[in-house]
Amino acid sequence: MQTQILPVNARSLALAKEILLAGGLVAFHTETVYGLGADARNDEAVRSVFAVKGRPADNPLIAHVHPDYDISRIVDGEPPYAAALRRAFLPGPLTMVYPSKGKVSRFVSCGLDTLSVRVPASPAAQAFLRAADIPVVAPSANLSKHVSPVTAQHVYDDFAGKIPLILDGGRCEGGIESTVLDCTGPVPQILRAGLVTREMIAAVAGDCGVYHMKEGEKPKSPGMAYKHYSPRCRTALFAAEEGALAEYAREEASGGTPYLLCTEQTARRHPGLRVLSLGETPEEMAANLYARLREGERCATELVAVLPEARGGVMDGVLNRLTRACGGTVNET
């Protein structure tokens, strides 16, 4: 199969709609990361999303709709706080989990009785969703476990020859996946941290919990249980700079090509080292993280990461992705 990368215009949108309605896959830009879209109502199309990505069959998908789509067609009621959150943050990088009406393929929710819904802010995503005018399921457009894509080229690198069309909307400025928020209980609960932060949600909803999986429990958001965001090179994450510098030196002494992955502030202190800078602010770090991880896997034998110091807000999402990309553990020394 030829994989076309096309700019978003009337011709490419008509082609995208044709592919979707025939059960095919179309990758598209959003403000977070690129999505791999399929017709949410079509069992075979939804199953092919799992097959092409190598995605575990129990990790549910998010349904994407345009801003004028009436979500009561697919979800079964919402608490007042959820309506307030929609007015405050949508369109935008917030995915809301609702009781499902069962109107989309049963393969979307993987046996859960909930459906997650997102209304992207990206004009390219909205043009695509308006042209299709159906709920489009879309996980991130990367092979399962690999780093999420923030450019059309990243999508191409993972899926060339496997999908017919990538709609190129430029670089994704947000950089990390949407916040996933459980809206089925009395208080909203964050299942995955993202650019819409706990603080922002609590300011509108009055309160906001954060879900932590307990040992032995069936995860509320199955995606959280998986290895994720991993670059194809060795990685090590250090709580402090000293440990990272020692690891960098060890890797270099053994003939490897280490790169330091760190904030711009840390990078400035080490002009003599090979460095991939995440930037200065939490928003810059979110926007740069995946591109730096993909650069790192191309040029480094080992990515040696230094945990940024900032906490809270957008950093919740950044640190969650960075830690998981580095195998889930932080070396204290």
Would you tell me which residues interact with Mg ion (CB under 5 A)?
Answer: 140
Which of ligand AMP, Mg ion, none interacts with 88 (beta carbon under 5 to 8 A by kind)?
none
CB of 51 to ligand AMP, least distance (A): 15
Strand partners, 235: 303
Give me the helices (H) in the chain, please.
Answer: 10-21, 43-53, 80-89, 123-132, 152-159, 198-205, 241-253, 264-268, 282-299, 314-325
Q: Are 137 and 46 contacting, i.e. CB atoms less than 8 angstroms apart?
A: yes
Residues 267-296 that bind ligand AMP (CB under 6 A): none
Count the site residues for ligand AMP by CB under 6 A.
20
CB of 12 to ligand AMP, least distance (A): 23
- Residue 123 φ then ψ, to 5°: -55, -35
Residue 257 and residue 283: Cα distance in Å, rounded?
Answer: 28
Which of Mg ion, ligand AMP, none interacts with 221 (beta carbon under 5 to 8 A by kind)?
ligand AMP
Residue holding tokens 């960098």? 248
CB of 115 to ligand AMP, least distance (A): 6
Among 30, 59, 151, 189, binds ligand AMP (CB under 6 A): 59
Residue 105 or 140 having the CB closest to Mg ion: 140
CB of 56 to ligand AMP, least distance (A): 10
Residue 231 and residue 243: Cα distance in Å, rounded?
Answer: 21
Which of ligand AMP, Mg ion, none interacts with 224 (beta carbon under 5 to 8 A by kind)?
ligand AMP
The span of 82-90, 214-222, 265-273, 309-317 binding ligand AMP (CB under 6 A) equals 214-222
Residue 45 or 260 having the CB closest to ligand AMP: 45
Quickly list DSSP for 187-215. Answer: S-EEEE--SS-HHHHHHHHS--EE--PPT
175: left (phi over 0), alpha (psi -120 to 50) or beta: left
Among 221, 263, 266, 288, binds ligand AMP (CB under 6 A): 221
Question: CA angle, corner 272, sides to 267 and 273, nearest 5?
Answer: 60
Q: Is 302 in the site for ligand AMP (CB under 6 A)?
A: no
Among 191, 193, 305, 319, binds ligand AMP (CB under 6 A): 191
Question: CA angle, corner 178, sides to 190 and 302, nearest 5?
Answer: 100
Q: Is 175 in the site for ligand AMP (CB under 6 A)?
A: no
Give the CA radius of gyration of the chain.
20
Question: 293 exposed, middle or buried (CB, 10 Å; 0-12, 13-18, 19+)?
Answer: buried
Q: Is 239 in the site for ligand AMP (CB under 6 A)?
A: no
* Closest by Cα among 240, 237, 232, 252 to 293: 232
Q: Is 224 in the site for ligand AMP (CB under 6 A)?
A: yes
**Beta carbons within 10 angstroms of residue 207's beta carbon:** 12
Residue 192 or 292 having the CB closest to ligand AMP: 192
Quickly list DSSP for 279-292. Answer: -SSHHHHHHHHHHH
Residue 59 or 184 having the CB closest to Mg ion: 59
Which of ligand AMP, Mg ion, none interacts with 292 (beta carbon under 5 to 8 A by kind)?
none
Binding mask 97-116 for ligand AMP (x = CB under 6 A): x-----------x--x-xxx
Site residues (CB under 6 A) for ligand AMP? 59-60, 62, 97, 109, 112, 114-116, 139-140, 177, 180, 191-192, 220-224
